[in-house]
Amino acid sequence: MESRCMRIRIYLNRTAFNGLYRVNGRGEFNVPFGCKPGTKPCDADTLNSAANLLRRAEIECQDFRETLQVTNPTTDIIYVDPPYTVKHDNNGFRRYNDRIFTWDDQKDLARLLVILANAGAKIMVSNANHSSIRRMYPTGLFHAVALRRATCMAADSIRRGTCHEALLVSNALIANVRQLKKALAGR
């Protein structure tokens, strides 16, 4: 039964609309799926290679608060990409995401990341590029970079466009990257 469930998950991941995984309010998968011409499910070599890498990984399913409590600010690099809930309701994200990741969750996440950044943690956060989000990450601890990227969130490729995101990078991570570049240049 377990291998059948795994095969179904792989099929959905490879054939769902734009590779998207989304659930409804009841936690049920709700993305259209099915093979389009040219869709190639994973071959055995790719799956075995991924399985070998994952054997060395420890994967936890837990609240972000628990995960951040066990990070080591001096050795870990922390990347977070929360659902894009924002204080305003102009983009439709909040109506959908606020059930699974509330505005209070967004504030808790920022508060914990600020504590870790103060402790010297190397952090990168991708989030909505909105002033209500950027304000939660102090400029003395985080550098905010506005990004524009292509989006594939429309069924018709003609209706796809770009979206704006913020990349918030802690001072410790920027300093670490500068040290790495300097070391590589000295080779």
Same domain, yes or no, for 52 and 70?
A: no
Q: How many domains does the chain have?
A: 2
Separation of alpha carbons 95 and 73, rounded Å: 34
- Checking if the pLDDT of 13 tops 50, the result is yes
Lowest average pLDDT, out of 28-42, 60-74, 98-112, 124-138, goes to 28-42
Which whole number is the average pLDDT over 155-182? 81
pLDDT in tens, 131-152: 999 999 999 999 999 988 777 6
Nearest to 175 by CA among 74, 71, 68, 67: 74
**Encoded tokens for 46:** 């790719």
Q: b/e for 90-99, b at 16 or more Cβ within 10 A?
A: eeebbeebbe
* Max mean pLDDT range (8-22, 32-46, 146-160, 164-178): 164-178
Residue bearing the bigger pLDDT, 40 or 178? 178
Pair (78, 39) in one structural domain: no
For residue 101, what is the domain's CATH number?
A: 3.40.50
> Is it the case that residue 9 has pLDDT exceeding 70?
no
Residues 6 and 97 in one domain: no
* Whether residues 74 and 163 fall in one domain: yes
- Residues 46 and 71 occupy one common structural domain: no
CATH classification at residue 40: 1.10.1020.10
Task: Residue 47: give the domain boundaries.
Answer: 1-59
- Tokens 């918030």 — which residue? 168
Q: Last residue of a domain, which of 15, 43, 59?
A: 59
Give the Å distances, CA to CA, from 9 to 15, 37, 72, 142.
10, 20, 32, 37
HEC letters along 121-182: CEEEEEEECCHHHHCCCCCCCEEEEEEEEECCCCCCHHHCCEEEEEEEEEHHHHHHHHHHHH
Residues 77, 48 share a domain? no
**Res 94: pLDDT:** 47
Clarify whether residues 55 and 85 are in a common domain: no
Report residue 54's pLDDT band, with 50, 70 and 90 as the boundaries.
confident
Query: Same domain, yes or no, for 41 and 81?
Result: no
Q: Which range has the worst mean pLDDT, 40-44, 145-149, 170-174?
A: 40-44
Same structural domain, 76 and 165: yes
Residue percentage of the chain with pLDDT more than 70: 73
